[in-house]
């Protein structure tokens, strides 16, 4: 089973059984779906549900932690402020949810960007490498994470009741076994060079190199995309879901208007660190 449902309407009183179940499911690569949990928009925030507020070439409108204003928006100052408030409110909502549901992670979680995604997924024209309608695991070319997990909290805020359609592919160890043998080791010195040239924000580790190439190779492999087994799921409007997107092979096929919060988690803080992609890759490559 690729997803597990939690029907609570809030998480003030998450039971320890629910907390244990949630962590176990997440670490095993399941998606946690909360069909009754979403961020309510104010009346003025409904005006923001318009893809025209996206800057040209921007995929999302996003807010860095502690930033004053969002990036990626083409809007006047008042609207930029409103978009910033939307993202900031969602960041608090997502943080509260993970603290209540995943308390053993909460001290170690590092907040990343919050994003608002107003574009319709099925109308975006993207190169195969950037096309999130192809199955992939997340890896960020300019933001190496040196093995930290990528935990994401999504919320479908579609006002017309449209679900977000995702596909979930094969488990991470299968993905890694399939693609790792096709990927060459990084050139000596390439991490320093990429960092010096400003292509990466920090040094791209060996882990980041392999994850990025798995991401690209998966997306570019037409036969794999056509033939691999997947499950298609509908993530309803006004629902929330949490998933380790560095581990779960996923593709976003359709949907419009979503909020998303990224967190990073050091793998040693997991209940079962051996399930983290870094340890799966270390095992397959027989190296640290």
Pairwise CA distance, residues 22 & 168, whole Å: 18
- Complex with Fe ion: residue 3 or 79, whichever CB lies closer: 3
Q: Which residue is nearest to Fe ion (CB)?
A: 138
- Complex with Fe ion: residue 150 or 191, whichever CB lies closer: 150
Task: Name the residues that contact Fe ion, by CB under 5 A.
Answer: 138
- Complex with Fe ion: residue 138 or 216, whichever CB lies closer: 138
- Complex with Fe ion: residue 138 or 221, whichever CB lies closer: 138
State the first-to-last Cα distance of the chain, in angstroms, to the nearest integer: 31
Q: Shortest CA distance to 260 belongs to which of 118, 72, 80?
A: 118
Q: 3-state DSSP call for residue 100?
A: helix
Contact (Cβ atoms closer than 8 angstroms) between residue 249 and residue 136: yes
> What are the distances in angstroms from CA 267 to CA 122, 145, 271, 280?
34, 11, 9, 12
Q: Which two tokens stand for residue 55?
A: 């800057």
User: Least distance in Å: CB of 100 to Fe ion?
Assistant: 25
- Complex with Fe ion: residue 138 or 208, whichever CB lies closer: 138
Pairwise CA distance, residues 108 & 202, whole Å: 20
Q: Which two tokens stand for residue 1?
A: 């089973």
User: Least distance in Å: CB of 215 to Fe ion?
Assistant: 9
- Complex with Fe ion: residue 11 or 257, whichever CB lies closer: 257
Pairwise CA distance, residues 190 & 204, whole Å: 8
In terms of C-beta density within 10 A (0-12 exposed, 13-18 middle, 19 or more buried), how is residue 13 classed? exposed
CA count, 13 A, side-chain hemisphere, 81: 4
User: Least distance in Å: CB of 140 to Fe ion?
Assistant: 10
- Complex with Fe ion: residue 41 or 228, whichever CB lies closer: 228
């Amino acid at each position: 089973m690729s997803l597990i449902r939690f029907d609570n309407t809030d998480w003030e009183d998450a039971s320890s059984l629910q907390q244990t179940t949630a962590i176990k499911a997440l670490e095993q690569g399941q998606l946690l779906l909360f069909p009754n949990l979403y961020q309510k928009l104010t009346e003025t925030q409904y005006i923001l549900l318009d893809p025209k507020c996206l800057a040209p070439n921007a995929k999302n409108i996003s807010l860095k932690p502690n930033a004053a204003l969002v990036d990626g928006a083409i809007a006047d100052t008042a609207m930029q402020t409103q978009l910033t408030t939307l993202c900031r409110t969602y960041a608090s909502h997502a943080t509260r949810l993970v603290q209540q549901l995943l308390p053993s992670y909460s001290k170690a979680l590092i907040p990343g960007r919050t994003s608002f995604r107003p574009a319709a997924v099925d109308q975006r024209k993207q190169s195969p490498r950037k096309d999130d309608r192809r199955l992939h695991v997340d890896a960020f070319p300019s933001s190496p994470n040196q093995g930290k997990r990528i935990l994401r909290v999504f919320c479908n805020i579609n006002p017309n009741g449209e679900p977000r359609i995702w596909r979930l592919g094969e488990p991470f160890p299968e993905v890694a076994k399939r693609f790792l043998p096709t990927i060459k080791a990084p050139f000596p010195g390439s991490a320093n060079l990429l960092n010096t040239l400003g292509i990466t924000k920090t040094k791209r580790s060996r882990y980041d190199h392999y994850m990025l190439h798995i991401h690209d190779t998966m997306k570019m492999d037409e036969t794999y995309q056509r033939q691999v087994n997947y499950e298609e799921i509908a993530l309803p409007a006004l629902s929330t879901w949490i998933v380790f997107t560095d581990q779960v092979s996923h593709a976003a096929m359709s949907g419009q208007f979503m909020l998303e919060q990224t967190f990073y988690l050091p793998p040693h803080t997991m209940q079962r660190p051996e399930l983290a992609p870094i340890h799966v890759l270390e095992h397959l490559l027989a190296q640290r």
